[in-house]
Amino acid sequence: MLERLPSLMLAEAASCLRYTCHTPKCKPQVNALVRAIAIHWAQVEDLSGLCVVEVVDALDNFASWSMQPFDLLRRLDPILVEREVELKYTGNVMLWVSATRSLANMKCKDATWPLRALELCRDKTFADKVSFFQQCTLIESFAKLSLFDDTAYRNLAELLLSEASLFKELKDIAPVAWAAASMGFIHKELLDALYIRIMEMFEAESLDMSKRDTNIAVTQAGWSFAVAGYHRQYESFSSFLDYVFWNSSTPAAAQRLRAELAELSVTEVPDVVALCQCSDQVKAAAAEPCTRTGPEEAQLPAFRSDVAAALQEMGWNYSMGNAAADSSVEGRQIEYALVGEEGAEPVLLFYPLGACRFLAAVFATPARRAGARLICLNRPGMGKASPAQTGNVSDHIAAHCQDAVKCLDHLGYERARVLFLCAGAPFALAFQARYPARTFGRLVGCSAWVSPLDCPRAKLMYRLSASLPSTMLATLADAVAGWTRAVPSSTAFSSLPTSSMPNSTSSMTQSFQGPQAVLLEKNAPEDSQADLALLIDCCATLANKFGQETGGEGADAATLVESSSAWGVDYSSLDCSLVLLHGDEDTTVPVECIEWLQEKIPQTIVHRIPGAQHGDTMLLGISAALRLLMPQKALPA
């Protein structure tokens, strides 16, 4: 067949692929034939002669051999999209599911067909035409491709829940739980049913943990339920820890999930860890190198990122203050804002260019829902915050990182989660690189900035601006900032005091009164257009407050056009779990830049927001970002 390959018709080659999927009995010659066909098809000018069944058979074959012929896949994918009607209504009802599964297994994240499949699942009646196990496959495949639609996921969850008795094997349960948790889709009824089923397996001692696949499935399920917050809700979660950590020889495919599960458990539920029989193994796993990421702190120059303070939200209290300065920060003045319940989890918020610490107030409602306490620091030179000693980028970032550490110490937090917006990305990544021990969990960002010096896919205007002198950049940035803040806005916050920042370790607290309390206490439906309108209203209302704190924009602008090495970030060493929300129509940072960043940083998941532009993602995506940062909802809406 290899000799005849150049003369084979498309249909004949497709027939070969139908019968040569990988099995343990396959000989190397079979693999060689499959790869030769893939190479040959990539060179064929017109593949439109293939029918949809042949395309799906080819995708299934390539996926079975763990191949990733992306150039060819980008030509086969449009055939499926073009013939969607044929694919939907063919006699084989699982054909469209198979295509989605194969593209997901090959990690073809730029394929269009899975987006169409996600749209099909918005029709619950249509999704119900495929089998229970195909529905499991669909939700797992969408998660592998970082695709999310609340209606589609909810439809699949409800269909699976209606036949939950069919979840008889752990290998079927774990991927569904993982898909829900990794996408921040916490469907309580479905997850409860899955959790109870696994507990029944534990009680029956029916799992063979000597099998590699079972070991991986238990670890995957344990991680998923911890992300969903079950480790905090049930003492029975200690059973998960016993099963996951009884054997130290965890397969490589599950090692990172195992380490993250250990860290979550030791950090957040030490009492549950104490209940399990493998508590020492859990604690040892939490200290393994793959748990925390980034280079050793001692190997890197002093550095830390835009971080800040809180805005107490029990009855919508707003805290502002200056952390005390000591010899370690050379008498620096630090300004911060806090938002959220006092007992909620601390989250460092790194704001975009042109904002300041008051941005925390805009996100008060989503923060309360997510159970987060936002800490937002002014960057050096902003407001009354002390500027860096020099004007270079390295010192600017280093000073901000030091301020963030000092602020966390002042507020009594050992560690915090990290959330960043656009130009906050350099500071957030630098903070993670320099102080990994002061963060925990995944990093989440909206409309993330990518250095134009590093990324060849950045817009030309930014790449050109990277060659301008820093003094010119500072002048331009200050001028733009001054023009932006001159735009008229609401005066609803005019009564909120901002002066008289105390130079002591204590913070000054003010309570919202009048129209500002009404504005921030609106309880718009989550992730809705009403939410977006509320946030935009908040932004307009706070614009005059932003104008009261200016400065430092020049250093911020210079940071954006510098390379990541100047930030103190080595993408290849930044082995952290990173989740990015980005608009498909972002013209400031094109989605191609985010794809480039995803290639550079391992363990990166990108959620695309269809039709969203740069600013849309920062506003409309904030609720989803907070859920992805802390998927469990610690506080009621």
CB 359 within 8 A of CB 542: yes
Give the distance from CA 200 to its chain's centroid.
32
CB neighbour burial string for 139-171, b if at least 16 within 10 angstroms, e if fewer: bbbbbbbbbbbeebbbbbbebbbeebeebeebe
- Tell me the CA distances in angstroms from 272 to 21, 279, 283, 340, 571, one per residue in order: 45, 9, 12, 26, 35
Q: What is the domain extent for residue 259?
A: 167-291
Verify that 119 and 174 share a domain, yes or no. no
Query: Is residue 305 included in any domain, yes or no?
Result: yes
Domain boundary among 230, 256, 291: 291
Least confident range of 20-34, 163-177, 499-513: 499-513
CB 550 within 8 A of CB 484: no
Verify that 282 and 218 share a domain, yes or no. yes
Reference 118, options 139, 95, 89, 92; nearest CA is 139
Taking only the tens place, the pLDDT of each residue in 413-451 is 999 999 999 999 999 999 999 998 899 888 999 999 998
Query: Is residue 509 included in any domain, yes or no?
Result: yes
Name the H helices within 121-211.
Answer: 124-127, 132-144, 150-162, 170-182, 188-204
192-197-202-203 Cα dihedral, nearest 10 degrees: 100
CB 590 within 8 A of CB 454: no
Residue 511, pLDDT > 70, answer no
**pLDDT value at residue 358:** 78
| Residues 393, 396: Cα–Cα separation, whole Å | 5
Q: If DSSP codes are grouped into helix, strand and coil, which group holds residue 333?
A: coil
End-to-end Cα distance, the chain: 64
Query: Is residue 636 included in any domain, yes or no?
Result: no
Neighbours of 572 (CB within 10 A): 8
Is the full-model pTM beyond 0.75? no
Verify that 383 and 525 share a domain, yes or no. yes
Q: Which helix (H) or strand (E) holds 349?
A: strand 345-350
Average pLDDT of the chain, as a whole number: 77
Verify that 314 and 241 share a domain, yes or no. no
533: pLDDT confidence band, cut at 50, 70 and 90?
Answer: low
Average pLDDT for 246-269: 81
Neighbours of 15 (CB within 10 A): 14
Reference 484, options 569, 542, 413; nearest CA is 542
Verify that 83 and 198 share a domain, yes or no. no
Residue 590: CATH number of its domain: 3.40.50.1820
48 token code pair: 């439109």
Strands 334-340 and 372-377: antiparallel
396 token code pair: 């600017």
59: pLDDT confidence band, cut at 50, 70 and 90?
Answer: very high
Query: Is residue 142 included in any domain, yes or no?
Result: no
| Residues 309, 326: Cα–Cα separation, whole Å | 18
**pLDDT value at residue 428:** 95
Verify that 93 and 21 share a domain, yes or no. yes
Compute the C-alpha angle 454/459/463, nearest 5°: 50
Give the distance from CA 501 to its chain's centroid.
35
Average pLDDT for 210-225: 92
> What DSSP string describes 569-605?
--GGG----EEEEEETT-SSS-HHHHHHHHHHSSSEE
* SS3 assignment for 242-261: HHHHCCCCCCHHHHHHHHHH
**pLDDT value at residue 416:** 94
Verify that 465 and 532 share a domain, yes or no. yes
Query: Is residue 376 included in any domain, yes or no?
Result: yes
Residue 140, pLDDT > 90, answer yes
Residue 471, pLDDT > 80, answer no
Average pLDDT for 141-170: 93
**pLDDT value at residue 557:** 79
**pLDDT value at residue 438:** 92
Query: Is residue 234 included in any domain, yes or no?
Result: yes
| Residues 135, 415: Cα–Cα separation, whole Å | 39
Verify that 461 and 314 share a domain, yes or no. yes
Query: Is residue 26 included in any domain, yes or no?
Result: yes
| Residues 340, 360: Cα–Cα separation, whole Å | 9
| Residues 281, 258: Cα–Cα separation, whole Å | 11
Domain boundary among 291, 323, 350: 291
Verify that 556 and 418 share a domain, yes or no. yes
Residue 500, pLDDT > 80, answer no
Taking only the tens place, the pLDDT of each residue in 304-353 is 333 333 333 323 333 334 443 332 344 678 888 888 777 888 999 999 98
235-237-239-244 Cα dihedral, nearest 10 degrees: -150
Q: Which residues contact 594 (CB under 8 A, 6 or more apart)?
A: 448, 450, 580, 582, 606
Type of residue found at 381: G
Verify that 417 and 443 share a domain, yes or no. yes
Query: Is residue 510 included in any domain, yes or no?
Result: yes
Verify that 14 and 126 share a domain, yes or no. yes
Domain boundary among 273, 291, 309: 291
Verify that 268 and 327 share a domain, yes or no. no
Taking only the tens place, the pLDDT of each residue in 47-56 is 999 999 999 9
DSSP conformational letter for 456: T
Neighbours of 484 (CB within 10 A): 14
Count of domains in the chain? Answer: 3
DSSP conformational letter for 309: B
**pLDDT value at residue 90:** 82
